[in-house]
Each structure stands twice: as C-alpha cells, then as structure tokens.
Amino acid sequence: MKEIWRGLRRPLVAIALGLVPFWLFLGFSNEVRVNGALVGDSRFNLGGLAMALIGIGLAIGTLRERPRRLPPLVLAALALPICLLQAAVSAEFLSVERLRAVVMGPPSPDPGAGLAEAERARLAASARRPILDEVALRDEFLSVAKRLEARAAEHAAYAGQCHGGARFAAPALPAWLSDTERAEVAAAGQGPRSATPPACSTAQSGVLMKDLVEQALRDRDLAGIIQAAREERFGTAPAAAGPAPGQLEGAPLALGEPGDALRARLGLAALPEPLPGAPEASSMQARLPVAPGVTAYLDRAGTVRALLLEEGFAGTLGGVRPSQTASSVLRRHGPPAREVALQGGVRGLLYAQEDGTVTRFDMRGGAVVGMLLLR
C-alpha cells in the first residue's frame, strides 16, 4: 500500500497544483474601463504560474519513471494538460472567462422577444395617424433605425470577439431613405461600445448575446411597423420636396393684413396690447391674440408684421407643427441660416426666404415650442 501511494503521490500533487490556482490568486491585477464599463482586465497569477510549472515537472517525471505502472501514468497524463492550461491562464495567454464563454456557448435570445400581437396592433394604429406626415414618419423610422444599428453593432463586436460571430444583424434600409440619412444610420453603429467591446465573460454574454438582441428584435418589429405605415400612405419612392420654411397653412390671417380689418373679419373685441419697452425702430409694437396658439404682432401703422404660433395652433408653418422634434425641422429644411439663444433655454433656428420673410423655429429639449413668421 505504501509503494502504491508513493507512486500516485507525485501525479496527484501535480493535479492539485494545476487546479488550486483557479481559486487562489497570487499575482497582479488591473482593470480598464471606458465610460464606467469594464472593457478589459489583466490578471497575472505569478503564484499560479509557479505552481503550474512545478506540476508540469512532477507529471513529466512520473511519465519517465521505470518501471512503469498504469495508475500513475494515467494520473500523470491527466495532470500534464491541466498544468499546461493553468500555466497559459496564469500567464494571461488564455482567459478563463473567454474559455468558459466559448465552451458553454452564448445564451440564446427568447424566440418570442419581439413585439406581441396586441402591441403591434396598437403601434400600427398609432403610426397611421393622419397628423403624422411623411417627414414625421421618416424621422420616427430613422430614430428607431439608428438605435437598432447601434445595438446590432455592439452585439456583433462582442460576438465576433467571444463567440465566433454575430447572431443578429440589422435589416436592410428601405429605398426611400436618402444617402445622407443612410449615412446617419451607419454612423450610429460606429460608437465607442462597438469599437471597444467589453472583455468576454458569462455576465457580458448574458447582456450582449441575449438581452441586447431581444431589445433589438423589438426595435426591428417597430421599424417594420413604421416602414409599412410610411409606404402604405406615401409609397416606396423617395419623398418629394416639402413646403418652404415660410409656407403657412391653417392660420386665420396672413402677414401684411391691417389689424383693424383683421379684428372686424374675425369679430375680435380685444384691442392690440402695446409691447412695453419695444424699440422705436422695431416692427413689432403691439400684440393681438387671434386664435388658440396664434398671436399677431403689429407695427406702428397697425399692420400685421409677425405671427407667433405655439401649442394649440392646428396648422403648420413650413410643414412643421408645435411639439414636433428639432430633427424633424432639420430634415425638412436643412441647417438654419443662423441659430440664436433665447430666454428660458430656448434656441431659435432662423431660415430666410427670398421675399424677405424670416421663419424662426424655437426649440427646447429637442422639441418645437413655438414658431415665428416675421417680415
């Protein structure tokens, strides 16, 4: 019995030396974080490397023993790859987390993770509301498409690094998007999360191979609903040119109309209210509320020189309604000729027309809170 134990002791010790460092760390560690997210770490286990090298020596010594006995040889043959693996892990030639992720495989997203039928019907009805014109639908589609592209790129970067390739890709974009809009979507997939994917781990695989893909599947369904609504109402061709920034629709008055004639025509009893502190040379000397969300500004001669359109106005200016997004304005009319800072954190986007009128879209928090038409 003593002789048998003497022959088994060295390979058993070698196996122990190869396994213990998986739980015992005696070395140096370092973490790399980008925007608070762990994207890499270094764990050089000096003690583990030393134990693994000793274990390799013991295993090789057992394999060279004479006379040879089967039990020690079997244990030595098992100890040698364990110690070699431990040496590679301790010296950071191989990551335990990455090895575990590759061996176990990524978690699979729920096949039914897309939008439920009831939710699809509700969103489809919302996308078909008449108030949503072509630009509004295109703006909504692009918002979802950019989010979808960012998620698909983040997933693909991690999946390629840790699991041999992506399990999900963003669908092709519709033909009615312009080259500029396609470039916007492509740029959304080139963020820091896709450029520097996090280190392979079971936790990250759960997030980026399952949770993120399930969110992307919902976005894919939502993008499909918006695309179907747009093509049902406006076809599959690119959009035609929209109204000019100064084109006013749905207002009960126009620039240049005399204030007295306006009051008589609309039956307004209220008189124009003088603007205190208005400069002598200003074309706006008095204000006259005309309709919900519509205020006229009059000059010294009592002529309408400007219109302020706010929440409650049912028409459009340049195809834009109050509460629409700033990106919707930019998509319709391009970059403004000038941008000004106003009170209350409001910024104004100014567009000049050839007839001398100026349109100003006032933005707060990314939404249109007011529109001014001025001559």
Look up residue 317 and give its two tokens.
């200016």
Per-residue pLDDT, 305: 93
- Per residue in 149-192, pLDDT (tens digit) is 999 999 999 888 888 888 888 999 999 998 889 999 999 999 88
Cα dihedral: 154, 157, 161, 162 (round 10): 30
- Identify the pLDDT of residue 361: 95
Collapsing DSSP to helix, strand or coil, 318 comes out as coil
Look at residues 206, 198, 223 and name the one whose alpha carbon lies nearest to residue 110. 206
Q: With respect to CATH, is domain 248-374 assigned 3.40.50.300?
A: no
Low-confidence ranges of the chain (pLDDT < 70): 1-6, 29-42, 96-105
Sign of the alpha-carbon torsion through 331, 335, 338, 342: positive
Q: What count of other Cβ atoms lies within 10 Å of the Cβ of residue 92? A: 14
The reported pLDDT for the residue numbered 94 is 73
For residue 281, the model assigns a pLDDT of 73
pLDDT at residue number 223: 94
Tell me, what's the pLDDT at 285? 87
Nearest to 47 by CA among 87, 97, 82: 87
Query: Per this entry, what is the length of the chain?
Result: 375
> What are the residue boundaries of the structural domains of the chain, listed by start?
2-94, 117-234, 248-374
Task: Concatenate the DSSP letters of all residues of 23-91 into one string.
Answer: T---SEEEEEEETTEEEEEEEE-HHHHHHHHHHHHHHHHHHT-SS--HHHHHHHHHHHHHHHHHHHHHT
